[in-house]
């Protein structure tokens, strides 16, 4: 994964994420929008075969958008770990009917 900063200001951040798609960006957007400090978060993937998604974050000014993005990425990682742990437990407990 490679990240290119396209725009940066005190309340806005626009980045391009090479090597990702709707799956990652949709989850990241959802987590960002759970944060009360976020005014707007979204992404655009002009063409899924030939382009990298562009993620846009605008805060209400209480925190920097880069900080909000870092928090969201950590939260998303934590959720992935939790899901994997729960899934592995369910597989161990599963008994075919």
**Residues 66-95: tens digit of each pLDDT:** 999 999 999 999 999 999 999 999 999 998
**Check: CATH 3.30.1360.10 for 2-93?**
yes
For the segment 16-67, what is each residue's pLDDT rounded down to a tens digit?
999 999 999 999 999 999 999 999 999 999 887 888 999 999 999 989 999 9
Q: What is the mean pLDDT of the chain?
A: 95
The answer, as to whether pTM is greater than 0.85, is yes
What residues does each domain of the chain span?
2-93
The answer to whether 34 and 68 are in contact (CB under 8 A) is no
All residues at 6 or more sequence positions from 15 whose CB lies less than 8 Å from its CB, including other chains:
3, 4, 5, 6, 54, 55, 69
Burial 59-92 (b: 16+ CB within 10 A, else e): beeeebbeebbebbeeebeeeeeeeeeeeeeeee
């Amino acid at each position: 994964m490679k990240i290119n900063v396209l725009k940066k200001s005190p309340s806005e951040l626009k980045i391009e994420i090479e090597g990702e798609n709707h799956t990652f960006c949709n989850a990241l957007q959802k987590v960002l929008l759970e944060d009360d400090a976020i005014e707007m978060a979204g992404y655009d993937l002009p063409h899924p075969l030939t382009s990298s998604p562009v993620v846009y974050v605008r805060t209400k000014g209480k925190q920097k958008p880069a900080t909000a993005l870092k928090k969201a990425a950590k939260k998303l990682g934590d959720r992935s770990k939790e899901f994997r742990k729960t899934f592995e437990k369910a597989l161990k407990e599963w008994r075919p009917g």
